Amino acid sequence: MIFVARSPREAKVVTSLRREHWAAAVVADSLDFAPRADLPCIYGVGAAELAPLEEGDVVCLDPSGDIALLYKIGNPHNSLLATNRCNCLCVMCPQRPGDDPPGLLENNLKLLALMDAARTTALGITGGEPTLLGDDLVRLIEACRQKLPRARLTLLTNARRFKDLEFARAVVRAGYPQLFMEIPLFADNDTQHDAVMGARGSFYDTLEALHHLALLGQPVGLRTVLHAMTIGRLVPYAEFIYRNLPYVFQVAFMGMETIGLASDNLERLWVDPYDYRLELAAAVRYLARRLVPVSIYNHQLCILPAEVWPYARQSITTWKQAYPPVCEACRVRDRCGGVFGTGKRHSAYLRAVG
Ligand code: SF4
């Protein structure tokens, strides 16, 4: 545990902390404080950085003084980054694939052990592509299920490796009954899907995997990210899912987060969401009328036709969520998920709903 000193009284307490009970102390910049040689201390930390920290959070303290928040108690958007590696290279990937630091799995298991079982109701397992961990993914999911019996576990995966039925079976078993999978399917045809994923053969790999997961009774959702390479065939995409993949639990149409590779490729990918709103509404209508659960993620209410507002979710992770000044006077701000504060660009058509 770390001790956070925000007041002069708490700064005095740091001098008497017992080393066996406390891993480190973090002290606000406004306080007089005598560092201790036997206890790692980070001091001179700004109030804004300290404000969000509360008991039960898990942070990583870097000797440079940086504080990284790894787990926020009670927040539904916590996740474990299983790996940075990937077997695809999606044109709009917000997280550039790369190598893993040593000991990533062990660090994830340590982080998991520090999470609050009672107050963690959801946990994501993300990447990179988590299935590249192979048997270690089975181990990680089992550990999540045992440590967090109340949590819904969501695995974000391109699922290609579930072409291997036995591996799929091992992962499904490890996570049952808490595991849900979110799988990208970007088109109703191999040419467009493979081009978006940067991986030839990925469309048919994913379809084979989806059938294996259906055979195993694994709940899955499908998702696509909307940009210049995907918006051209949204209704045929919806029809393809309805006719060929009737077992999926939900379909999500996602706005693009303009960081990582999406930022690198922004000029060829960016379409203002206002300009594709009618095609999006038609695809949502197609699925909803056929009772396929459908969601719109990362889109602002003011740029969507009102008929699809009931499908728009507040999906942006809380610490990435932002509301530009135009939102101040907006009547539906409480229901709107806002924009990505991390993003480079958002719609030019945002306007307060009166
Ligand atoms: S003005 Fe802001 S709060 Fe209102 S709908 Fe648009 S993005 Fe959402």
Q: In this structure, what are the phi and psi dihedrals at residue 193, rounded to the nearest 5 degrees? A: -60, -50
Q: 53: CA distance to ligand 1 center in Å?
A: 28
pLDDT, one tens digit for every residue, the chain (354 residues) = 888 888 888 888 888 888 888 888 888 888 887 778 888 888 888 878 888 888 889 988 887 778 888 999 999 999 999 999 999 999 999 999 999 999 999 999 999 999 999 999 999 999 999 999 999 999 999 999 999 999 999 999 999 999 999 999 999 999 999 999 999 999 999 999 999 999 999 999 999 999 999 999 999 999 999 999 999 999 999 999 999 999 999 999 999 999 999 999 999 999 999 999 999 999 999 999 999 999 999 999 999 999 999 999 999 998 899 999 999 999 999 999 999 998 889 999 999 998
Is 165's C-beta closer than 6 angstroms to any atom of ligand 1?
no
Nearest atom in ligand 1 to 326's CA: 1
Is 321's C-beta closer than 6 angstroms to any atom of ligand 1?
no
Residue identifier of the C-alpha nearest atom 6 of ligand 1:
302
Backbone dihedral region for residue 108 (phi beyond 0: left; psi -120 to 50: alpha; all else: beta): alpha
Residue intervals in the chain for CATH 3.20.20.70: 79-340
Pocket test for ligand 1, best of 332, 335, 345 (most atoms within 8 A of CB): 332
Expressed in percent and rounded to 5, the helix, strand and coil fractions of the chain are: 35, 20, 45
Q: 308: CA distance to ligand 1 center in Å?
A: 15
Q: 280: CA distance to ligand 1 center in Å?
A: 18
HEC readout, 5-67: ECCHHHHHHHCCCCCCCCCEEEEECCCCCCCCCCCCEEEEECHHHHCCCCCCCEEEECCCCCE
Reported as a single tens digit per residue, the pLDDT across 28-81 is 888 887 778 888 888 888 878 888 888 889 988 887 778 888 999 999 999 999
Q: State how far the Cα of 267 lies from the Cα of 260, in Å rounded to an integer.
A: 13
Q: 348: CA distance to ligand 1 center in Å?
A: 12
Number of residues assigned to the chain: 354
Contact yes or no for 185/208 (Cβ under 8 A) = no
Q: Which fold has domain 79-340?
A: TIM Barrel (3.20.20)
Q: Which of 139, 125, 122 is CA-nearest to residue 81?
A: 125
Beta bridge partners of 220: 181
Q: 336: CA distance to ligand 1 center in Å?
A: 6
Reported as a single tens digit per residue, the pLDDT across 117-145 is 999 999 999 999 999 999 999 999 999 99
No. of helices (H) and no. of strands (E), the chain: 11, 14
Is 330's C-beta closer than 6 angstroms to any atom of ligand 1?
yes
Exposure b/e, 12-49, CB count within 10 A at least 16 = b = eebeebeeeeeebbbbbeebebeeeeebebbbebeeee
- Token duo for residue 138: 């089975």
Contact yes or no for 85/129 (Cβ under 8 A) = yes
Q: State how far the Cα of 70 lies from the Cα of 60, in Å rounded to an integer.
A: 7
Give the count of alpha carbons within 13 A of 295, CB side only. Answer: 16
